[in-house]
Structure 1
Amino acid sequence: MAIMTASAVPTSVLKPKNSITVIDNRTGKSIDIEITDNSIPATAFSQLKAPYADGERPENDTPYGLRVLDPSFINTAMIQSEITYIDGNKGFLMHRGYPIEQLAEKSSYLETAYLLIYGELPGKSQLDLWSWEIMHHTFVADDLQQMIRQMRYDSHPMSVFISAFAAMSAFAPEANPALQGSDLYIMNKPLMNKQIVRILGKATTVAAMAYRIRINRPFTPPRSDLSYTENLLYMMDHMAEPNSYRPDPRLAKALDILFILHADHEMNCSTSTMVHVGSSLVDPYSCVAAASAALYGPLHGGANEAVIRMLAKIGSVENVPDFLQRVKEKKELLFGFGHRVYRETDPRSKVIREVADMVFDVCGREPLIEVAIALKDAALKDEYFTSRKLFPNVDYWSGLIYKAMGFPLDFFPVLFVVPRLAGYLAHWKQQLDSGKNKISRPRQVYIGKGRRDYIPVDAREERPITAQNGLNAIPHYISKRRLTKI
């Protein structure tokens, strides 16, 4: 992006139309910044340098240029991307130009994953090869299986998933840039493609292992003759049936649609983590582990679980008005409504509502759906919620579907992260293929103490020990046997 600068430019001078002019009132300096794709480079503001004002903190670094503060990246773009576009004001989502509604109706998860990662819908032979490769990279090394088996039965499935992917890079030293050279994935595209296939193939196996640990059952080997979601359900559910056992195709189709809806959502918390970590050129398994850890948080991948707990707490349709009143009084939290990007209805929630009926036909109608519908209808008629743009999002309905299918609540984030791997890998690949990768290094605005001199411990003022200012007393279990005095 071109940045045009000038000092004390007269207002009569004609400015480029596609630009903005910023005047620093501290110095009178003016800069013109070119607008490209409705964005400006934040680095342009570093030209606005000024002397320290009287009494100003030197930690502000004022003579070195103005910084742009944007906590939580509310209005800061970290990349240029060709992958996913969201119009939050209109409730519109598309991948590589294709509306999410069309992909959910006509595509499959693996086809959508190919589209996200490689930019175009695959031809028949490409799709066949792509699917074959992924379904033949589903086995996990025996040593890694043994490590996964050591996890506690009451471990959170996401802890198992994250740990497995963090360890997976140790089982692929040929794919580790720290061992093979930092430009490994920049120069060796076949190796990059192999890791993409391996990650997508092994994700369902690791997810099923996390589930089987949860229910104290032995691992079930994957099958390459099943579809992606069929294989996941098979590895989770197969018990003593004959090998000819196959999951219900309607449930596999429903899960496939849900996977398409969760495949990518541009620069959300976990995807931006994938890009941030990947900028250091570390291996993709470590990137996936980091991104999965970000998704693990209750404000991200745990939202649909929170919806179920909320609906269960409400209990019945009759309790909905009182619950909403308590939300208004800030005595309760409303989960599954509103979105960081969408200001109208989440387009994925329209599709997912139809998937719910497909699942209910097989598994029975989820009792909490009546509470969910009543809560949704009441909220959408209430000006308090509509004025705040609080509409149901994808998490509001997905948890009900997962619960109807019999998944435990703590497994919901795993069903989110497995399909989101396609988006993670698409953004990781895009970043490395761009030729513009630089290690992410956000700036900060320091507001802490100014320079001060070290004081020896004996000369320091004693402060009360509290949980807020430091370590407080932590209870420890001590056996009564150790309390015996001789």
Structure 2
Amino acid sequence: MGKPVTIAPKSDSLTVRDERTGKTYSIPITDNTIPATAFKAIKAPRREGEREENETERGLRVSDRGFLNTAVIQSEITYIDGDNGILRYRGYPIEQLAERSSFLEVAYLLIYGSLPTKSQHQSFEDEIMHHSIVHIDAEGLFRAFRYDAHPMSILTSAFAALGSFYEEANPSLRGQNLYTKGDTESLAIMDKQIFRLIGKATTFAAMAYRVRQGRGFITPPNGLSYTGSFLYQLDRLGEHSYVPSPVLEKALDILFILHADHELNASATTVLQAGSSLVDPYSAISTGCASLYGPLHGGANEAVIRMLISIGSPDNVPAFIEAVKRREKVLSGFGHRYSDPRSFIIRKTADEVFKVTGKDPLLETAMRLHDLAMKDEFFTSRRLAPNVDFCGLIYRAMGFPLDFFPVLFAVPRVVGWLAHWRQMMLQKGGVKIWRPRQIYVGAPKRDFVPIEERVEEDAQDPRRSPRIVPHTGQSKRTALAEYRGKSKL
């Protein structure tokens, strides 16, 4: 028999050999993660003819377009396992929270890390509802928007403007360590801004809605839940003892729980990017709204409804599916490459809503689309499953206009944004400004050319010069007029 082979225990490290220099590097692995900065130590002399802009002698850079596999922060908030359809807030499965909890209870969990006791919940709710009332000057801001302004534009602007109301909340005025000290006074200031932002989120959203409707604003009522107060502010027109439908109130509360956080999505990352400069939280939350506004993010559930409207009826679904497979149509609402656990909760919630509102006529089209897509190898092989964007059917059944859907996404997501922002402010080692690198592929060094000697570059590439904008009306008439100072080309 041969001698036994002794296998040395494996170390938690990654060994990299740079074939340019023959050197070997050992990079530590912690929590299945390697530090990108470790690659800065992998340097090589610049080769003859190589671009100086590559900065080869300064170490390797890690290219990850769109942050597809780059971790930027350690977090204790939300865990997502897309392959197995798992979503947990602070360790609690989303299914349990949606069935047994309330939105403000989940908000407390996300922000502070544990489910509140009865007294903690009562105190938290009291503060949130107390801070739902806005300064009267805010009404002037809302009235300044055009009657047809998109409600997400209004909401984004309102959050940004809110920071100007509270000087004590601005690190630029009160010191850059205002939120990072972690002492009792700093935490109290932070909590007050959290109360204000969550409380005013529904008020601002309702005000944006009523501007579009040409209605006066409603003072947040006493004695209603968070979502009940929201519905009251949206809809009351002077009726005595107005109480929103408990079915719609509960449905909205569940949807708010489902939308409260989804890890480092585009908007949460935008909030942290802005927050890393130690800007005030109102400005940071405003950037989250701006990011959420985009059609690849918060605007997706609106896109689902527009898609269903364009299909028309269940009979047209097979032809639509074939058009998608030919890349002639875009299938919205199937963007997640896994079975989103939220979609099953939404289906159950939809059934409850439809009992009181009646079924949305688009429901049959949506279900037909779902069934055919889930049986089609084109979609199953790509692991394309229906996602949470089908909640638009519930919003539509509840009577909300399409362009208000992103606002209904933004209101609960304020909680998730604040949870991530607070975590970053209090992280060990302090806050370091986020400053990603780029890969420069532009022109090398070149000398300035006087304007008289310049020739047009890349005339065949339309991206290399601005387009000529056609002018009509007054602009056209002014262009034909003569006046002092008119440029002569």
Residue 121 of structure 2 is matched in structure 1 by 127
Given candidates 377, 384, 387, the residue that maps to 1:393 is 387
* Match status 1:416 vs 2:414: no
CA distance change for structure 1 residues 223 and 25 in 2, over 3 Å: closer, same or farther?
same
Residue 397 of structure 2 is matched in structure 1 by 404
Given candidates 197, 219, 243, the residue that maps to 2:217 is 219
Residue 267 of structure 1 deviates from its aligned partner by 0.5
* Match status 1:62 vs 2:62: no
Given candidates 6, 9, 32, the residue that maps to 1:38 is 32
SS at 2:84 equivalent: coil
- 1:296–1:302 CA contact under 8 A, matched in 2: yes
Looking at structure 2, the residues matched to 351 and 25 of structure 1 have their Cα atoms a distance apart, in angstroms, of: 52
Looking at structure 1, the residues matched to 253 and 399 of structure 2 have their Cα atoms a distance apart, in angstroms, of: 16
Given candidates 277, 280, 286, the residue that maps to 1:280 is 277
Residue 297 of structure 1 deviates from its aligned partner by 0.2
Given candidates 319, 327, 332, the residue that maps to 1:330 is 327
- 1:338–1:389 CA contact under 8 A, matched in 2: no
Residue 234 of structure 1 is matched in structure 2 by 232
Given candidates 448, 463, 469, the residue that maps to 1:468 is 463
Deviates more, 1:244-253 or 1:428-437: 428-437
Looking at structure 2, the residues matched to 99 and 462 of structure 1 have their Cα atoms a distance apart, in angstroms, of: 60
What does 1:311-330 correspond to in 2, within 5 Å?
311-330=308-327
Residue 484 of structure 1 deviates from its aligned partner by 7.2
SS at 2:267 equivalent: helix
Given candidates 421, 446, 454, the residue that maps to 1:428 is 421
What does 1:352-371 correspond to in 2, within 5 Å?
352-371=346-365
* Deviation string, structure 1 residues 451-472 (Cα, Å, up to 9, x no partner): 1111111101135597522222
Residue 190 of structure 2 is matched in structure 1 by 192
Residue 344 of structure 1 deviates from its aligned partner by 2.2
* Deviation string, structure 1 residues 388-444 (Cα, Å, up to 9, x no partner): 11100001x211000010100000000001000111000000001113320000011
The letter for the 1-side match of 2:231 is L
* Match status 1:154 vs 2:148: yes
Looking at structure 1, the residues matched to 427 and 65 of structure 2 have their Cα atoms a distance apart, in angstroms, of: 27
Looking at structure 2, the residues matched to 90 and 269 of structure 1 have their Cα atoms a distance apart, in angstroms, of: 22
Residue 478 of structure 1 is matched in structure 2 by 473
SS at 1:468 equivalent: helix
The letter for the 1-side match of 2:308 is L
SS at 1:36 equivalent: coil
* Deviation string, structure 1 residues 15-39 (Cα, Å, up to 9, x no partner): 8521111111111111111111111
* Match status 1:305 vs 2:298: no
* Deviation string, structure 1 residues 301-356 (Cα, Å, up to 9, x no partner): 000000000000000111101001000110000000032xxx32111001001010
Looking at structure 2, the residues matched to 118 and 414 of structure 1 have their Cα atoms a distance apart, in angstroms, of: 25
Looking at structure 2, the residues matched to 462 and 273 of structure 1 have their Cα atoms a distance apart, in angstroms, of: 38
- 1:91–1:344 CA contact under 8 A, matched in 2: yes
Residue 293 of structure 2 is matched in structure 1 by 296
- 1:465–1:471 CA contact under 8 A, matched in 2: no
Deviates more, 1:113-122 or 1:468-477: 468-477
Residue 153 of structure 1 deviates from its aligned partner by 1.0
Deviates more, 1:218-227 or 1:96-105: 218-227
* Deviation string, structure 1 residues 340-395 (Cα, Å, up to 9, x no partner): xxx32111001001010111111110000000000000000000001011100001
CA-based RMSD of the aligned residues comes to 1.6
* Match status 1:79 vs 2:73: yes
Q: Which runs of 5+ in 2 are unaligned?
A: 1-5, 484-489
Residue 9 of structure 1 is matched in structure 2 by none
Residue 185 of structure 1 deviates from its aligned partner by 1.0
Looking at structure 2, the residues matched to 414 and 21 of structure 1 have their Cα atoms a distance apart, in angstroms, of: 48
The letter for the 2-side match of 1:401 is I
Looking at structure 1, the residues matched to 102 and 82 of structure 2 have their Cα atoms a distance apart, in angstroms, of: 25
- 1:465–1:472 CA contact under 8 A, matched in 2: no
Given candidates 452, 463, 468, the residue that maps to 1:458 is 452
The letter for the 2-side match of 1:399 is G
What does 1:12-27 correspond to in 2, within 5 Å?
16-27=10-21
Given candidates 251, 256, 259, the residue that maps to 1:259 is 256
Residue 174 of structure 1 deviates from its aligned partner by 1.1
Residue 73 of structure 1 deviates from its aligned partner by 0.4
Looking at structure 2, the residues matched to 333 and 376 of structure 1 have their Cα atoms a distance apart, in angstroms, of: 14
Given candidates 95, 109, 116, the residue that maps to 2:89 is 95
Given candidates 434, 438, 441, the residue that maps to 1:444 is 438
CA distance change for structure 1 residues 299 and 69 in 2, over 3 Å: closer, same or farther?
same
SS at 2:34 equivalent: coil
The letter for the 2-side match of 1:468 is R
Residue 166 of structure 1 is matched in structure 2 by 160
The TM-score, its normalising length taken from structure 2, stands at: 0.94
Identical positions, percent: 58
- 1:466–1:472 CA contact under 8 A, matched in 2: no
Residue 54 of structure 1 deviates from its aligned partner by 2.3
Given candidates 367, 374, 385, the residue that maps to 1:373 is 367
The letter for the 1-side match of 2:303 is A
SS at 1:89 equivalent: helix
Residue 5 of structure 1 is matched in structure 2 by none
The letter for the 2-side match of 1:418 is V
Residue 203 of structure 1 is matched in structure 2 by 201
Residue 476 of structure 1 deviates from its aligned partner by 2.3
* Deviation string, structure 1 residues 62-86 (Cα, Å, up to 9, x no partner): 0000000000000001110000000
Residue 143 of structure 1 deviates from its aligned partner by 1.0
